[in-house]
A and B are shown apart, each in its own frame.
Chain A
Amino acid sequence: MGEKANSCLERWTGRVRAAAAEKTAIRLRGGGSKDFYGQSLVGELLDTREHSGIVAYAPSELVVTARCGTPLAEMEATLAENAQSLAFEPPHFDPGATLGGCVAAGLSGPRRVQAGAVRDFVLGVKMINGQGELLNFGGQVMKNVAGYDVSRLLAGSLGTLGLIVEVSLKVMPVALAEQTLRFDLDQEKSLNLLNQWGGQPLPISASAWAANSLHVRLSGAAAAVSAATAKLGGQRVTPEESTAFWLGLREQSHPFFAGDAPLWRLAVPATSAVLALPGEQLVEWGGAQRWLRGLGTPADQSIRIAAEQSGGHATLFRADAAQKAALGVFQPLAAPLGRIHHNLKLAFDPLGVFNLGRLYPDL
């Protein structure tokens, strides 16, 4: 580790210890690309971008280790030079997005169904807990069951358990061939098809339905992609259009996401029928992720109730502060889970330093 990096960590551990002693809150932030996500932003800012850079990367190990402040774009560029990538296609939402923020937010992009989520790729972390201790969990290897899987627990914890200072991620080779297909179909027919295709050995790496148009992306060996293209039919989308489409979906610059209406994210079983909820819908992940927004979106808990009844949950993904305060951002937890969450917060951050209330008001 570089001298500069070392001194940064020393300062950070000192700062966390001081904050714990004085009972003051710290707000962890990288590029601020996901400030909109979650509940309140409380505390004195700790800018994680100071601790930046790739620490280790050997393509034949399929692992990259980098510091929390490393720009996601820089990491992806380095991986791309070796025909590798972060297979979960993390959204950036801003050019300044960092690796630490990516893992803490736990958001995955279009390839999630085929490749897995952020947490599936986290192999190890170096972190600072709420007492200012520098700790290591997991490692740089694919299989590791020594102790509890703290590294994966941190993915999606929104910085409430500690400051992630370094992460090791599994990386994957870029697919040799790719082809996007477009079909004019309504949502019900699209969901049926996607679920049927999902049970067949097809190289489907992404899907999106909106406004009676279904896009399906195939990725894999050239032979597999061309065989599947022939089998599925549909209209072939040009490579340029395809890249722009999936990027627009990942970054939510697709027209569906334009405007200020609240945006709900419903995670439901892929086989759930079309959700009879007012507002427009965009369906991803083979039916497992459904976005809802627009005029007439109910401003009560009926969306959460619908998500729960189908076996999943709903997140108020983008909304103004008043709407977030009224409805809460994340689905409330059942009592025993709530208690375990509270106890875990105390185990990692006993004096309540990090990102208070960002995930749930009492964490």
Chain B
Amino acid sequence: MSTDSAFTVPRFAVEKQRLLAQLREVLPALSLLVDEEDLRPYECDGLMAYRQLPLIVVLPENEAQAQAILKICSALKVPVIPRGAATGLSGGAMPHRDGVVLSLAKLKKIVKLDALARTAIVQPGVRNLAVSEAAAEHGLYYAPDPSSQIACTIGGNVSENSGGVHCLKYGLTVHNVLRVRGLTIEGEIVEFGNAALDAPGYDLLALMNGSEGMLALITEVTVRLTAKPELAQVVLASFDDVTKAGDAVASIIAAGIIPAGLEMMDRKAIHAVEPYVKAGYDLNAEAILLCESDGTPEEVAEEMARMTAVLRQSGASGIRVSQNEAERLMFWAGRKAAFPAVGRITPDYLCMDGTIPRKNLARMLIAIAGMEERYGLRCANVFHAGDGNLHPLIMYDANVPGQLDLATAFGGEILELSVKLGGTITGEHGVGIKKIVQMCAQFTPAELALFHALKRAFDPEGLLNPGKVIPTAARCREYRLTRSAADGADNASVNAATRY
């Protein structure tokens, strides 16, 4: 194993022909891709700015085939990169040049849906939305609803600990998964969690959530289903000032209300979305909040009255309450289409994903406005405000030399400020390759060393998704050297943002 300095991913000496010969013995021909034209669709995930062709792509049809693949790869010391629908935005599924991409696309059966127990056992390639669709006839649904839920898969959701717009009340993936069945890199079957509410020993189920395919290959997941609320209603509030909108978020929570959804969009996001979706957003607003209540009709009426009162007191310039389901969906349609809407007005964009304490939302928005000036790039902001989870969308043009680098630096600055404001570099999109450098800002060398040791506890040879998530000590030393040189300037910018 050596290190390629250009990509700082570990390299592996792999005998491709020997590997292929062994894989052919355990897989049907259609489950093995080797020609460049077949590999091309697998060269990246949702982080399209970074691409790498894999050596081979395998598509097992069942757990036994996946097990055989892993046994071969671990014996031959070949890296394995698990892949679901590849909607991830941090490059977690980006291939390795010496490695096998293991696609779980063919494992897409809902194995069992138990309405009485309110659980569904699904294969990892089942789409998020397909679970809710299957559960609908029983008055149940699967609560986590990432924006990509039409396409993204449960295996990927577990790997990234995906959120969505309803997690303040209903939790993240980790709160809605009861059991993960998988394979170690050696091909042994492991069960994390079980059919009960807890399992003996360490909470390895919690550890699997958000582990980005680094610890074990997921082959089956038991998810918890939730009773569908009788009614949901949303209030759309406009603000002429972002600080007022940020403060309104804190006031709603302080009033003891846990909204089913609490989302914020800034002026640029509103102006990208409204012409595209015609959701009825106020084009004069500096920010809008979408605040949802769900439950029994009586409960919703009570909560909507309390929420609108808080929003009024917080200085909302306009308040609209959805009068029926069609209107509620229309209000949400704008928020849900925010990413593609921004995609229409710019050749390319980078979607960031930091989380900060809610009280700092306005401060962050003001700081981002300052960064727009300095980098000469526009940024539209979409927040899961209830969770303090930010999705700034930095617009750039990849065809203009240097703009990708500028956008990357802009994004890096947002993430570093997130850490300084008491938050984190990723709320729900994962580290992958995109934020591996910022991990050096969030963690000390001793903490990173523990992450590496934890990884080895599952995967001693480092074959599962190598080079992702946890930076090497050498890489962080380099990062710290360059940052300490720039530190004076950096602190000045934070202070400037504070004074603004």
Is the C-beta of B328 less than 8 angstroms from some C-beta in chain A?
no
A104-138 residues at the B interface, CB under 8 angstroms: 106, 112-113, 116-117, 119-120, 129, 133, 135-137
Is the C-beta of B84 less than 8 angstroms from some C-beta in chain A?
no
Q: Which of A91-99, A147-155, A232-240, A275-283 contacts B (4 or more CB under 8 A)?
A: A147-155
Asked if residues B303 and A145 are in contact (CB atoms below 8 Å), the reply is no
Asked if residues B355 and A143 are in contact (CB atoms below 8 Å), the reply is yes
Is the C-beta of B457 less than 8 angstroms from some C-beta in chain A?
yes
Q: Which of A2-10, A182-190, A209-217, A311-319 contacts B (4 or more CB under 8 A)?
A: A311-319
**Smallest CB separation, B407 vs chain A (Å):** 21
> Residues of B contacting A332 with CB < 8 Å?
200
10 A-B pairs with the lowest CB-CB distances in the bound complex, closest first: A311-B195, A223-B298, A312-B196, A343-B457, A347-B453, A143-B427, A173-B256, A152-B206, A224-B299, A267-B196
Asked if residues A141 and B299 are in contact (CB atoms below 8 Å), the reply is no
Query: How far does the alpha carbon of A310 sit from the alpha carbon of B196 in the complex, in Å?
Result: 9
**Smallest CB separation, B381 vs chain A (Å):** 16
Query: Count the A residues whose beta carbon is within 8 Å of the partner chain — how many?
Result: 87
Chain B residue with minimal CB distance to A343? B457
B421-436 residues at the A interface, CB under 8 angstroms: 422-431, 435
Asked if residues A146 and B422 are in contact (CB atoms below 8 Å), the reply is no
Query: How far does the alpha carbon of A147 sit from the alpha carbon of B454 in the complex, in Å?
Result: 11
Is the C-beta of A139 less than 8 angstroms from some C-beta in chain B?
yes
> Which listed residue, A145, A222, A313, A360, touches B199 by the CB 8 Å rule?
A313
Is the C-beta of B408 less than 8 angstroms from some C-beta in chain A?
no
Q: Which of B41-49, B171-179, B475-483, B487-495 contacts A (4 or more CB under 8 A)?
A: B171-179
A146-B458 contact in complex given A221-B299, A221-B303, A312-B195, C-beta closer than 8 Å: no
Q: Which of B6-14, B95-103, B186-194 contacts A (4 or more CB under 8 A)?
A: B186-194
Most A CB within 10 A of own CB, among B184, B194, B455, B469:
B194
Asked if residues A201 and B296 are in contact (CB atoms below 8 Å), the reply is yes
> Residues of B contacting A143 with CB < 8 Å?
163, 167, 172, 355, 384, 387-389, 424, 427-428
> Which listed residue, B168, B191, B207, touches A334 by the CB 8 Å rule?
B191
> Residues of B contacting A220 with CB < 8 Å?
295, 299
Asked if residues A285 and B197 are in contact (CB atoms below 8 Å), the reply is yes
> Residues of B contacting A359 with CB < 8 Å?
201
> Which listed residue, A117, A140, A152, A270, touches B357 by the CB 8 Å rule?
A140
Chain B residue with minimal CB distance to A335? B188
Asked if residues A117 and B200 are in contact (CB atoms below 8 Å), the reply is no
6 more A-B contacts (CB under 8 A) besides A145-B161, A149-B211, A153-B203?
A: A137-B447, A141-B422, A149-B206, A149-B209, A221-B298, A221-B302
Chain B residue with minimal CB distance to A84? B256
**Smallest CB separation, B214 vs chain A (Å):** 8
Chain A residue with minimal CB distance to B169? A172
Asked if residues B454 and A148 are in contact (CB atoms below 8 Å), the reply is yes
Is the C-beta of B258 less than 8 angstroms from some C-beta in chain A?
yes
A145-B117 contact in complex given A120-B175, A152-B207, A347-B457, C-beta closer than 8 Å: no
B281-333 residues at the A interface, CB under 8 angstroms: 295-296, 298-299, 301-303
Cβ contacts A283-304/B at 8 Å (1 or 0 each): 0010011000000000000000
> Residues of A contacting B398 with CB < 8 Å?
none
**Smallest CB separation, A327 vs chain B (Å):** 13
Is the C-beta of A325 less than 8 angstroms from some C-beta in chain B?
no
> Which listed residue, A60, A141, A269, A346, touches B424 by the CB 8 Å rule?
A141
> Residues of B contacting A137 with CB < 8 Å?
447
Query: How far does the alpha carbon of A199 sit from the alpha carbon of B209 in the complex, in Å?
Result: 25
Asked if residues A142 and B355 are in contact (CB atoms below 8 Å), the reply is yes
Can you list 20 contacts pairing A with B, beta carbon distance less than 8 Å?
Answer: A61-B250, A133-B446, A143-B424, A143-B427, A144-B426, A148-B451, A149-B209, A153-B203, A153-B204, A157-B202, A198-B227, A199-B227, A221-B299, A224-B302, A271-B114, A311-B195, A334-B190, A336-B189, A341-B201, A348-B453
**Smallest CB separation, A203 vs chain B (Å):** 8
B154-185 residues at the A interface, CB under 8 angstroms: 160-161, 163, 167-168, 171-172, 174-175, 184
> Residues of B contacting A80 with CB < 8 Å?
none
> Residues of A contacting B227 with CB < 8 Å?
198-202
Chain B residue with minimal CB distance to A285? B197
Is the C-beta of A357 less than 8 angstroms from some C-beta in chain B?
no
Asked if residues B188 and A336 are in contact (CB atoms below 8 Å), the reply is yes
> Residues of A contacting B209 with CB < 8 Å?
149
Is the C-beta of A321 less than 8 angstroms from some C-beta in chain B?
no
Asked if residues B470 and A147 are in contact (CB atoms below 8 Å), the reply is yes
Query: How far does the alpha carbon of A224 sit from the alpha carbon of B454 in the complex, in Å?
Result: 45
Give A residues with C-beta under 8 Å from B. 58-63, 83-84, 106, 112-113, 116-117, 119-120, 129, 133, 135-137, 139-150, 152-153, 155-157, 161, 172-174, 176, 195-196, 198-203, 220-224, 226-228, 267-271, 285, 288-289, 310-313, 315, 330-334, 336-337, 340-341, 343-344, 346-348, 359-360
Asked if residues A343 and B190 are in contact (CB atoms below 8 Å), the reply is no
> Residues of A contacting B168 with CB < 8 Å?
142
> Residues of A contacting B424 with CB < 8 Å?
139, 141, 143-146
Cβ contacts B431-473/A at 8 Å (1 or 0 each): 1000100010011101100110111111010000000011000
**Smallest CB separation, A188 vs chain B (Å):** 14
A201-B230 contact in complex given A59-B254, A61-B358, C-beta closer than 8 Å: yes
Query: How far does the alpha carbon of A269 sit from the alpha carbon of B359 in the complex, in Å?
Result: 40
> Which listed residue, B167, B301, B456, touches A347 by the CB 8 Å rule?
B456
> Residues of A contacting B206 with CB < 8 Å?
119, 149, 152-153, 155
Query: How far does the alpha carbon of A333 sit from the alpha carbon of B203 in the complex, in Å?
Result: 13
**Smallest CB separation, B215 vs chain A (Å):** 8
A269-B195 contact in complex given A145-B210, A152-B203, A347-B457, C-beta closer than 8 Å: yes
Asked if residues B295 and A221 are in contact (CB atoms below 8 Å), the reply is yes
Query: How far does the alpha carbon of A269 sit from the alpha carbon of B114 in the complex, in Å?
Result: 11
B390-431 residues at the A interface, CB under 8 angstroms: 422-431
> Residues of A contacting B163 with CB < 8 Å?
143
Query: How far does the alpha carbon of A341 sit from the alpha carbon of B190 in the complex, in Å?
Result: 12
> Which listed residue, B211, B359, B453, B455, touches A58 by the CB 8 Å rule?
B359
> Residues of A contacting B174 with CB < 8 Å?
120, 149, 152
> Residues of B contacting A340 with CB < 8 Å?
184, 190, 204, 457-458
Query: How far does the alpha carbon of A262 sit from the alpha carbon of B470 in the complex, in Å?
Result: 46
Query: How far does the alpha carbon of A156 sit from the alpha carbon of B425 in the complex, in Å?
Result: 27
